[in-house]
C-alpha cells in the first residue's frame, strides 16, 4: 500500500512546457500509451460519495516496448493540495480478462481514459506530460520522496515559475471526472 501525492495542471502549450522541462535538466524516462478502464461499482458502493475509484490500466511503453497491466484501488482523497490518496495496486497479466470478470459480475459501466504520457524525471519528482483524448494537455507532478508542506510549496513555486504556470492552472478533478463532465454523464 502506498500514498500517491500529485499536482495536476491544465496547460495550453505542451511544446513550451517540454522545452522548459529540458532546460531545467529533466530527463525523458519513457513515453507510454495508457488505457485506463474505470469500473463503476455503483451496484455495491456509492463511489462518488466515498471518493473512491477502481482502475484497470494497460500501459505500453512506446520507447521500451514493455507492457504493464494492473488493477488499482484509489482511496478517498486525504488532501486536495497536493492531492494525496491511498492507492493499492496489483499487477495482473491480462487486463481484458479482468474487465470480462467485472462484466460477468454485473458491472456494466466501464469508462475509458486514453492518454499518451511522457515521463520526465526532475529532482525529487516525476513530471508527466499527458495528452488525454477529448481533454487536451496536462502536466502531473508526482513526488518521489515525502517532504514537509513548506518545502513542497517552495519547490512547487520554483517549478511553477520556471514553467510559467500558476496555481490557477491546477486541476483538482481526475481525468475520469473531467471526461464524464464533458460527456454529460452523471456519475453516482
Q: What is the pLDDT of residue 147?
A: 67
Q: 60 has which bridge partners?
A: 33, 67
Identify the sign of the CA torsion 146, 150, 153, 155.
Answer: negative
Domain range 2-179, CATH class: mainly beta
pLDDT in tens, the chain (188 residues): 455 567 899 999 999 999 999 999 999 999 999 999 999 887 788 777 888 889 999 999 999 999 999 999 988 877 666 667 788 999 999 999 999 999 999 887 778 999 999 999 998 789 999 999 999 999 998 877 766 777 777 778 888 888 888 888 889 888 988 998 998 886 54
d(CA 155, CA 147): 10
Torsion, Cα of 149, 152, 154, 159 (10° steps): -160
Q: What is the pLDDT of residue 142?
A: 84
At residue 166, φ and ψ (nearest 5 deg) are -140, 175
The CA–CA distances, whole Å, from 113 to 33, 40, 158, 185 equal 11, 14, 31, 14
Q: Catalytic pick from 3, 16, 37, 38? A: 38
Which three cell numbers, joined as nine digits, stand for 68? 504493464
175 is an active site residue: no
Coil vs helix vs strand at 22? helix
Q: What is the pLDDT of residue 28?
A: 97
Q: What is the pLDDT of residue 166?
A: 83
Domain ranges of the chain: 2-179
Coil vs helix vs strand at 53? strand
Q: Where are the alpha helices (DSSP H) in 51-148?
A: 95-104
| Cα 34 versus chain centre, distance | 10
Amino acid at each position: 500500500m502506498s500514498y500517491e501525492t500529485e499536482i495536476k495542471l491544465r496547460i495550453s502549450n505542451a511544446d513550451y512546457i517540454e522545452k522548459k522541462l529540458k532546460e531545467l535538466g529533466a530527463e525523458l524516462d519513457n513515453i507510454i500509451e495508457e488505457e485506463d478502464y474505470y469500473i463503476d461499482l455503483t451496484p455495491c458502493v456509492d463511489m462518488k460519495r466515498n471518493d473512491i475509484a477502481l482502475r484497470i490500466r494497460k500501459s505500453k511503453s512506446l520507447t521500451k516496448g514493455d507492457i504493464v497491466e494492473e488493477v488499482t484501488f484509489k482511496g478517498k482523497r486525504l488532501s486536495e493540495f497536493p492531492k494525496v490518496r491511498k492507492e493499492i495496486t496489483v499487477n495482473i497479466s491480462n487486463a481484458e480478462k479482468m474487465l470480462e470478470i467485472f462484466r460477468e459480475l454485473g458491472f456494466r459501466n466501464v469508462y475509458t481514459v486514453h492518454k499518451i504520457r511522457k515521463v520526465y524525471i526532475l529532482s525529487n519528482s516525476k513530471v508527466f506530460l499527458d495528452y488525454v483524448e477529448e481533454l487536451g494537455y496536462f502536466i502531473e507532478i508526482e513526488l518521489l520522496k515525502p517532504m514537509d508542506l513548506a518545502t513542497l510549496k517552495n519547490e512547487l513555486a520554483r517549478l511553477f515559475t520556471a514553467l510559467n504556470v500558476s496555481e490557477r492552472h491546477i486541476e483538482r478533478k481526475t481525468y475520469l471526472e473531467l471526461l464524464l463532465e464533458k460527456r454529460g454523464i452523471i456519475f453516482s
